[in-house]
Structure 1
Amino acid sequence: MKSTKHIRVIALCALLLAAALPGKAQIFPNSYINIDWQMNVPLGNSFADKASGWGMNFEGGYRITPAVAVGPFVSYHTNLQNIDRQTLILNNGSALTTNQKHAVFQLPFGVTGRYSWCNNSVLQPYIGLKLGASYSEFSSYYYVIKQYDDSWGFYMSPELGVSIFPNPTYRFGLHLALYYSYATNSGSLLTYKINNLSNFGVRVGISF
């Protein structure tokens, strides 16, 4: 499964970084990097509304103060839904009877900021906010045909998380986060209309 592949990617990154890091410091001083697998649950989206673990998140930040960090991020996610055989009356008056598989692909990227506490302890909680652009593609697969519509929108995502460093001096550990995301993307496909995308999700990964 794709989610298993994502977890293997994170594990491989963890092993490589653990071997490469010097005993006492970060690769980039006064900064952080997170590599996460993520799972999300679509909210209010009837086109593809099944929870999915087919996504990852990559971000980094520079600490402009001990508590405040700013940097770039990019993530991606795909949600799927199987649609039983049904008859659709299309805009031109014709009818289509078929099974479908719906997919919503999201690719947000932009700037992330966070405020953290206890930056010299094992548990380092924070609140964060991601702002930027989001590309989305809405697809319907039936028979051997794929129809899709894509769009760009504004993306916003508040986040609550914690980095766990067994040895804070070493700066290599686990990252956990809960997030909500909202994007203004919309689309129209066959007889379906999508207005805005919102999700609730969990991220699990490595932090250094």
Structure 2
Amino acid sequence: MHATPAGATVRSRVRIPLRFADGYAVTAEAVTFHGLADGAEHVALVLGDPTGSDTPLVRLHSECLTGDVFGSARCDCGPQLREAVQRIDAAGGILLYLRQEGRGIGLYNKLDAYALQDTGLDTYEANTALGLPEDARDYTAAAQMLTALGVRKLDLLSNNPDKARQLDDLGILVRTTVPTGVFATGSSVRYLQAKAQHTGHTIELACVAG
């Protein structure tokens, strides 16, 4: 186990209303930070009452402009974000919105990978064809954010085993992993299957076969 890098502190806290396309609305406390290891402007959204338990529900959600903002059906990011906000608000916890577009390769590279996917490659093969990592995400800053918020133990809302592994290595205890829903469309089935097959995401493929 590695020690969490020191130095991250809370910069500001502000309450902001959130509203989704289906009408669901909630208020979150947005928290920003000084001293994050990668220098990116990640933000924590504190939802519900995380003080009600010593093990809050937490999601590490990587930014996805196409899915989160524009509603692209090529991935499940937008529906996962919507689900996570409601579930975390009900349970009390934190959503870390991490500036890691395209699994860490950036927006332009992600769109280049989309073009290759249109020729038949899956999402991971497309990254590799571009000379990029299948998944370039590092969760050091996420561990720093959690530590600055006083969270050293959590329940992780995720289908991605790498998130739990990295947090454990960084000194954040993941008590249990709580799977997200499966949000399949005709455009995203291959994407979901690739996540399950390449990186061991806990996605029930029978749910996305139809």
Radius of gyration: which is bigger?
1
The structure that is helix-richer by fraction is: 2
TM-score past 0.5 threshold: no
Q: Which structure has greater strand proportion?
A: 1
Tell me the TM-score normalised to structure 1 length: 0.24
